[in-house]
């Protein structure tokens, strides 16, 4: 079974994404920040990490970079919440969001997505990314 670690500082997002992936047949662990996500990756391993960009502490770009340096074969999807309704008091501008996504691509993220995105699109991308390395 393909294992996914989802990193997002918003609990509601973590819960929804976990449910989507579990229903699609993935094994899922969740973390509230980059440090927790990397610790889970070290302890349990994974085939894919999905991380939010805008988070307190290490943002998603730093987290993706750290994962890429330590685990070069892990697939990484970086997602941005630019303009989503769940942003709690902080909405990054489109320029900032684009710059973060470009930075994530530059450090080796396998895919970048802007929220909201279609769940079928996300599962298809995750399946395609992980089936290449299986």
54 alpha carbon, distance to own chain's centre: 11
pLDDT, tens digit (0-9, with 9 covering 90-100), for 73-128: 999 999 986 543 344 444 444 445 566 666 777 777 898 888 778 899 999 999 99
Mean pLDDT of the chain: 84
Sequence-distant (6+) residues with CB within 8 A of 34 are 7, 51, 55, 57, 58, 59, 60, 62, 63, 66
CATH for 3-133? 3.40.50.2300
β-bridge partners, 5: 29, 49
Selection from 12, 71, 81 nearest residue 37 by Cα = 71
pLDDT, tens digit (0-9, with 9 covering 90-100), for 8-48: 999 999 999 999 999 999 999 999 999 999 999 999 999 99
Stated pTM of the model = 0.83
């Amino acid at each position: 079974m393909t294992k996914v670690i989802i990193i997002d500082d918003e609990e509601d997002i973590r819960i929804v994404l976990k449910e989507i992936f579990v229903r699609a047949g993935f094994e899922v662990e969740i973390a509230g920040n980059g440090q927790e996500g990397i610790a889970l990756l070290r302890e349990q391993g994974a085939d894919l990490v999905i991380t939010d960009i805008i988070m307190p502490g290490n943002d998603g770009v730093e987290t993706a970079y750290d994962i890429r340096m330590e685990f070069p074969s892990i697939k990484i999807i970086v997602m941005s919440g630019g303009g989503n309704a769940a942003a709690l008091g902080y909405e990054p501008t489109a320029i900032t969001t684009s710059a973060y996504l470009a930075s994530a691509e530059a450090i080796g993220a396998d895919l970048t997505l802007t929220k909201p995105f279609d769940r079928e699109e996300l599962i298809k991308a995750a399946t395609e990314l992980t089936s290449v390395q299986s």
